[in-house]
Amino acid sequence: MGTSRPGGHQQLQLRLLALASLLLLASAEVIFEERFEDGWETRWVKSDWKRSEGKAGTFKHTAGKYSGDPDDKGIQTTLDARHFAISAKIPEFSNKGRTLVVQYSIKFEQDIECGGGYIKLMSGYVNQKKYSGDTPYSLMFGPDICGTQTKKLHLILSYQGQNYPVKKDLQCETDRLTHVYTFILRPDASYSILVDNRERESGSMYTDWDILPPRKIKEVNAKKPKDWDDREYIEDPDQVKPEGYDSIPREIPDPKDKKPDTWDDDDDGIWKPRRIPNPAYKGTWKRKKIKNPNYKGKWKIPWIDNPEFEDDPDLYVLKPLKYIGIEVWQVKAGSVFDNILICDDPEYAKRAAEETWGANKEAEKEAFEEAEKERKAREDKEAQQAREEGERRRRERGDRHRGRDHYKDRYKRVSSHIVCFLPEAILVESF
């Protein structure tokens, strides 16, 4: 039985949908896209910062030790305990009235211990040969790991010359596989953070940065109205205590307790049965609780308009962007930066991530697992060789000790005889 083909109306809808997708692609503007293919060095300038002090690291064009696609290369930090600084000029771009999308991938191949993996966007003129940690930036975004405590995802925005970090505690990925980080900033000052094409966080610049005073504040002088009833439950006023309730004793004589036959009232006193809890005793009488018909809820301090708040409709607007840079310090080098993208279309960025990271993630995971097996086998072999070498040395030391003990025994036997030379005779005296 064949499958039915869509009718004319359905075919028209499909064509319109395809056309809309093409128009969306056509309307997207890609400001800068770097996949570090051959010729990448013509677009990037390596800074001389820290070079004269011998503290500057270098970048290597590679896919790393393990990769889903060995031909998909990035730039990897090399040399431990170094500063790394490199930048590229981009077409000048203003996000006023537009969405800003910043995306890139990073793979921490090394056991990084302590170091950054973030990128920066700069405005104004930058002397790229002197690009450093002191160079002003408009946006800083990406992971920073140090020990077991710091696993932070930085997101810092510049406003009127001052840097403001996001107030939320954002966490980054800490494994040794490639991850894609995406930041989206919209004209309404809302933002989203995606990790591996999935939204990790979202919010607004108005609430998640301490840039402007808050729109609303609590009325600190407000007091709860006297007629505010915040009792959710009250005693039932219509319930009446049963007559004779208070005269019910807590204990009663045990009706099963019998006076012993051997009991003598004259000698033992007047016999009384032992007392037991009275099952009819219900404790202190209390009215039952009912819903309070006048309940208004828990009173809360009201929010009022903040007189110090002055809106800035351009809060989201960064100074025109002109450069992108990588400037990090790492105790152990080995991070691979790749697939940097600056555009105005989140959908284009999502498709770009799928085309690069998404297409290779399973193959990379397999390559990583294979590399880990080889590393473990190599370490096990080295450990076995070390154990065998240690055992060989212990045996040699044992042989030397036994040789010295044999010599000592012979020396003791010889020295137990003292030969004395006298004028008239030779006396051998044994001890």
Distance from C-alpha of 337 to C-alpha of 301, rounded to nearest angstrom = 49
Q: What pLDDT score was predicted for residue 418?
A: 46
CA distance 108 to 110: 5
Alpha helices in 309-358 (DSSP H): 346-353
Q: What is the dihedral of CA 158, 160, 162, 167, to 10 degrees?
A: -60
Pairwise CA distance, residues 172 & 139, whole Å:
17
CA angle, corner 6, sides to 5 and 11, nearest 5?
130
* Per-residue pLDDT in tens (0 to 9) along the chain, 431 residues: 433 344 455 555 546 555 554 554 556 899 999 999 999 999 999 999 999 999 999 999 999 999 999 999 999 999 999 999 999 999 999 999 999 999 999 999 998 889 999 999 999 999 999 999 999 999 999 999 998 788 999 999 999 999 999 999 999 999 999 999 999 999 999 999 999 999 999 999 999 999 999 999 999 899 999 999 999 999 999 999 999 999 999 999 999 999 998 998 888 899 999 999 999 998 999 999 999 999 999 999 999 999 999 999 999 999 999 999 999 999 999 999 999 999 999 999 999 999 999 999 999 999 999 988 888 888 888 888 888 888 888 888 887 777 666 666 666 665 555 444 445 544 444 44
Q: What is the pLDDT of residue 409?
A: 65
* CA gap 175, 195 in Å, rounded: 13
Helix-strand-coil percent breakdown of the chain, rounded to 5?
A: 25, 30, 45
Q: CA 366, CA 75: separation in Å to the nearest integer?
A: 22
How far apart are alpha carbons 346 and 352 in whole angstroms? 10
End-to-end CA distance of the chain: 117
pLDDT at 422: 47
Distances (CA, A) of 429 to 408, 419, 421: 21, 7, 11
- Strand 275-277 and strand 44-46: the pairing is unpaired
pLDDT at 431: 40
Tokens for 202, please give them: 């979202």
C-alpha 70/C-alpha 66 separation (Å) is 8
pLDDT at 189: 98
The pLDDT of residue 1: 41
Separation CA 326–CA 230 (nearest Å): 57
Strands (E), 124-265: 139-146, 150-159, 162-165, 178-185, 190-195, 198-204, 216-218, 233-235, 251-253
Largest CA distance in the chain: 142
Domains of the chain (ranges, CATH numbers): 23-209+316-377 (2.60.120.200)
Mention every residue, 6+ apart, whose C-beta is less than 8 A from residue 254.
273, 274, 275, 276
Report the alpha-carbon distance of residue 332 to residue 108 in Å, rounded: 10
